[in-house]
Structure 1
Amino acid sequence: MLQLIAGAVDDRTARGIAAAVSRLVHTGELPAGTRLPTVRSVAQALGISPTTVSEAWRSLASAGAIQTRGRSGTFVLTPTRPRQKMRFSRLVANPSTLPHDFSTGVPDHDLLPDLAPALRRIGDTRLTTSYLEDPVLPRLEVVLRERWPYPPQQVTVVDGALDALDRLVGASVRFGAHVVVENPTFPPLLDLLESVGAVPVPVSMDAAGVEPSALAAALEQSPTAVFLQPRAHNPTGVSTTPQRAADLAALLAGHESVIVVEDDHIGDIATAPAVSLGAHLPDRVVHVRSFSKSHGPDLRLAAVGGPAALVTAIADRRLLGPGWSSRVLQAVLLDLLTDPATVRAVAAARREYARRRDLLLAALAAHGVEATAADGINMWIAVRDQQVALVTLAAHGIGAAPGAPFEVRPLGGDHIRVTVGLVRDSFEDLAAILAEAAGARHRASGHRARPCTAPPADPPRPLTAPPADRPAPGRLR
């Protein structure tokens, strides 16, 4: 056992030792239940300090890969995380007690297209003749390729955007790897990275997307991958501009081992155009397009397109599990994407979501509340104290998501996320309650909010901390 571990270590830092042991666990050479050698014996075998080995053991224990049981020793575990410790589980309020739950991040059901006509049109069409058929309906693949922001080498369909992210993390990220993520970012992505023992490297954003200087600094840490949300970033609503995509791609061009994963979770209800770094780095960008927000969460479908090596690996691995995503649902999606009435319905939903964002942003601005919601269905609101804000909203029967689970590192002030896409009316009343929760004082009613459907003409301001001329979140200017 000691020789096995010592022989697997080629980097004698704590990170290198932890990564080597993790590889042995993943390959089955160190199966669950195996008792590991003592820290001192490993240190002697490697010719290093026991402190370095102890640090590696702590990293593995933090990731749930091993467990120390006092004098009994240290053992390999099957990694598990209690649900209550996941960031994702801390987002949603309890809908049974709060009549107005704006914490969920889901689309308005009444703005989704009707699936019944599509189901009637496909009828009892025979869609599967062999378990070894291609995972994507041929006609659907044609339509997807026509809609893709760059020519992908390979396209497949999986069971939603999170399924895609899960499979991409599993295929490309290993224990101890550094992974660049936006700050703030989608909490389930952080849960996925933590589940494999990866180290998230946060990068700041402004109104045009990830800041190039922040990405340049993050690339110095030799990351394995960069995860981005190119449109309607969750939670801020920011969309990457074409110029910013080109700037980021230029920085990544010199780092050939780094892959980019783009989660276009909002899809066709985004007001911003589809932008991708794949237009500049097609061999290294995997783009995920979800249809849950635009066409229906119950379709459970997302398309994945990009380099053949990665996309084919995902499709091949699925053959040992679900095999493929339901061809019946794929046929429904194909119908929805090509039916003129449905296309008009989705366009109407896109306009309605934009109307709701603008109305609530304007009402909040009149109360002196700082908020961003440039696109999509979510709004990121600065508050004086997150917990006080959530309790205040709950007292009014309103649920919102806390900001902390979205943050890799503190942003310099508290926030909450409100699913503005679910707000249908009473914008002024809701704004007054949100202002109370945020700790803001009323501002003169003549103030008008700046339009938030596109980046401002002035140089973008960072989203990670207040600029020098701006007071603390929630306070009067």
Structure 2
Amino acid sequence: MTIAITGATAAEIAESIRDLRDRATLSPGDVLPPVRALAAQLGVNRNTVVSAYRQLTQAGLVETLGRGGTRISDPAPIAQDGYAQGSVLRDIGTGNPDPALIPAPEGALAAVVGRPVLYGEPVIDADLAQWAQEWMAPDVAPARFRLTVTSGAVDAVERLLAGALTRDDAVALEDPCWLAGMHTVRLGGYRAVPVPIDDEGMTVDGLQAALEQGVRAVVCTPRAQNPTGVSVTAARASALREVLREHPYVLIIEDDHFSLLSRHPFHSIVGPEHRRFALVRSVSKFLGPDMCLAVTATDPRTAERLALRLSPGTTWVSHLLQRLAHAQLTDPSVRAQIAQAAAHYAARNVAFAERLTARGVDAAAGDGLNLWLSAPGGAAAASAHLMRRGWLARTGDEFRLGGAPSAHLRMTVHDLADADAERLADDVAAALGGTQDGAQAAVAGLSGTHGMIDR
């Protein structure tokens, strides 16, 4: 049967297949025509069909099976940060801050009441803009930048990429990568190019290779990289800036999500002459995930494009929310609480790493909310072992952009009581020392699924 695919360009062919899928003319598992056959049918170059299929693969709508051809994919759940749904296990993979360490907003609520904000007014509230200018300026190398606000860091990254890229453009991402960043790139139809990271951050050779592949944007986490906890060192930042100096129009997005909680200095990979950049700082880790607000400092051109996607009256960020964030961030008692939270996260992660070291497990605490542990026998096997002991951890496979199975676990342990931390340390040591029985030992019904969305 001939499938009624139409189009003369890659975008048109991809859109035609999307439409056939949406109308259920094509269903999950249906095999698309071979590249040569479809090119002949449409009278286009073979590479045009290859590009169309690649766009659909990047969007997760089709999958390539080698000799099995290309077929419509079955929507599959994608891992999300947060609590597992319906699990009977103790969840140690949430990536959440401790709710007890999030400052209560009641004392600041009275300060947010003011005159109503109407259509056409500035997107960023004046008081927050003044405070954020002082917060961001020391860490933005180019002399000229503009500020705006978005509904959190993920919203900022999505809008920045949408304003600068078109479908199938390449984006350099750290590998392993934070989940929301990975999904934002994939669901936007961009091509993710993995850049390995080591103990000093994004690798120089990896970034150079990505630039040679034509990436138009680079997303980097300068501190407390999720999931590894790595922070970019001064020497590495300098080397990365040197590589990027030859590519001044590549958009660099720095997601400094841990900012006020970090125990490490900020080292930017954006040089003073770079033309397209964005430094994004959200408040979710220290004021709470429900405070959906991020401040973004960008070059003027990028700011103009971002402003077009933040039209007042449609997608602006509530000024009440902005005023609440400003009232808290300028309150000395709240800032003291944030400092205490920073010390707590660091101390608890170090203490757990020391527990593991005492049990013969090679462990070190990085920056951030989580621990990134090496699992030489394989992450899946170690995770299965922990499940049988009543724990639900995350495997590093969820954070990989591809390649071999992961040999790491990501665990959130800062909120464990000492007795629970001791028990978990015993179980982790056992899991990393005796996982030969493999991942198949995980019993269905014991494991829950960390926050998932359907792709």
- Fold shared, TM-score > 0.5 on shorter chain: yes
Letter in 2 for 1:147: W
1:401–1:29 distance in 2 versus 1, CA, 3 Å: closer
Cα offset for 1:256? Answer: 2.8
Q: 1:354 aligns with which of 331, 336, 346?
A: 346
Task: Specify every segment of 5 or more residues in structure 1 that has no aligned partner in the other structure, as ranges.
Answer: 9-17, 69-76, 442-477
The number of residue pairs the alignment matches comes to 410
Secondary structure at 1:289 match in 2: strand
Contact 2:171–2:190 (CA under 8 A) maintained in structure 1 = yes
Q: Which of 142, 147, 153 is the aligned partner of 1:161?
A: 153
Distance in structure 2 (CA, Å) of the matches to 1:372 and 1:93:
26
Q: Residues 60 and 433 of structure 1: is their aligned pair in 2 closer, same or farther, counting only changes over 3 Å?
A: same
Of residues 413, 416, 429, the one that matches 1:435 is 429
Q: 1:146 matched to which residue of 2? A: 134
Cα deviation per residue 1:98-119 (whole Å; 9 max; x = unaligned)? 2x32211110011111211111
Q: CA deviation at 1:175?
A: 2.3
Higher alpha-carbon deviation: 38-47 or 353-362: 38-47
Structure 2 residue identity aligned to 1:360: F
* 1:118 paired to 2:108: yes
Distance (Å, rounded) in 1 between the aligned partners of 2:364 and 2:84: 21
User: CA separation in 2, counterparts of 1:279 and 1:142?
Assistant: 24
Alignment partner of 2:325 out of 321, 333, 341: 333
Tell me how far 1:64 sits from its aligned partner: 5.1
Contact 1:368/1:440 (CA < 8 Å) preserved in 2?
no
- Counterpart of 1:59, as a letter, is R
Q: Is the 8 A contact 1:246 1:280 kept in 2?
A: no
Preserved CA contact (<8 Å) 1:145 1:152: no
Give the match's secondary structure for 1:236.
coil
Q: Distance in 2 between matches of 1:283 and 1:317?
A: 20
In structure 2, runs of 5+ residues without a counterpart are 1-5, 27-31, 64-71, 436-455
> 2: distance between equivalents of 1:272 and 1:102?
24
Which of 187, 192, 217 does residue 200 from structure 1 map onto?
192
Which residue type is aligned with residue 439 of structure 1? G
Q: Distance between the aligned counterparts of 1:153 and 1:190, measured in 2?
A: 27
For residues 41 and 65 of structure 1, what CA distance do their matches in structure 2 show?
20
Give the whole-Å Cα distance in 2 for the aligned partners of 1:201 and 1:371: 29
How far is 1:216 from its partner? Answer: 1.4
Pair 293,64 (structure 1): closer, same or farther in 2 beyond 3 Å = closer
What SS does structure 1 have at the residue aligned with 2:374? strand
Contact 1:135–1:323 (Cα < 8 Å) also in 2: no
CA RMSD of aligned residues (A): 3.4
Q: 8 Å contact 1:87–1:191 — kept in the other structure?
A: no
Cα deviations by residue, 1:4-52 (Å, 9 ceiling, x for unpaired): 955x6xxxxxxxxx35756x88xx999987999996585588674x4x4
Q: Residue 394 of structure 1: CA displacement?
A: 2.7
Q: 1:306: Cα distance to partner?
A: 0.8
- Asked if residue 389 in structure 1 is aligned to residue 395 in structure 2, the reply is no
Mapped pair 1:108 → 2:102: no
Equivalent AA in structure 2 for residue 429 of structure 1: R
Distance in 2 of aligned mates of 1:46 and 1:250? 46
What SS does structure 2 have at the residue aligned with 1:353?
helix
| Aligned 8 A contact 1:236 1:372 in 2 | no
> How far does residue 286 in structure 1 lie from its aligned partner after superposition?
0.7
Mapping 1:58-457, distance limit 5 Å: 58-63=53-58, 82=75, 84-88=76-80, 92-94=83-85, 96-98=87-89, 100-122=90-112, 124-126=113-115, 128-148=116-136, 149-150=139-140, 153-319=145-311, 322-383=314-375, 384-410=377-403, 413-426=406-419, 427-439=421-433
Query: What is the alpha-carbon distance in structure 2 between the residues aligned to residue 337 and residue 41 of structure 1?
Result: 58
* SS state at 2:290 partner: helix
Q: Secondary structure at the match of 1:204?
A: strand
Candidates 42, 46, 51, aligned match of 1:56: 51
- C-alpha deviation, 1:201, in angstroms: 1.3
Residue 444 of structure 1 is matched in structure 2 by none
1:420-446 residue CA offsets vs partner (Å, 9 max, x unmatched): 3333423332211112222369xxxxx
Identity %: 31
**Partner amino acid for 1:140?**
L
AA paired with 2:411?
Answer: V
Single out whichever of 129-138 and 430-439 deviates more from structure 2: 430-439
Alpha-carbon deviation of 1:280? Answer: 3.2
Cα 1:59–1:142 shift into 2, 3 Å: same
**Structure with larger RCO (C-alpha < 8 A, sep 6+):** 2
Aligned with 1:278: secondary structure?
Answer: coil
User: 1:367 and 1:161 mapped to 2: Cα distance?
Assistant: 38
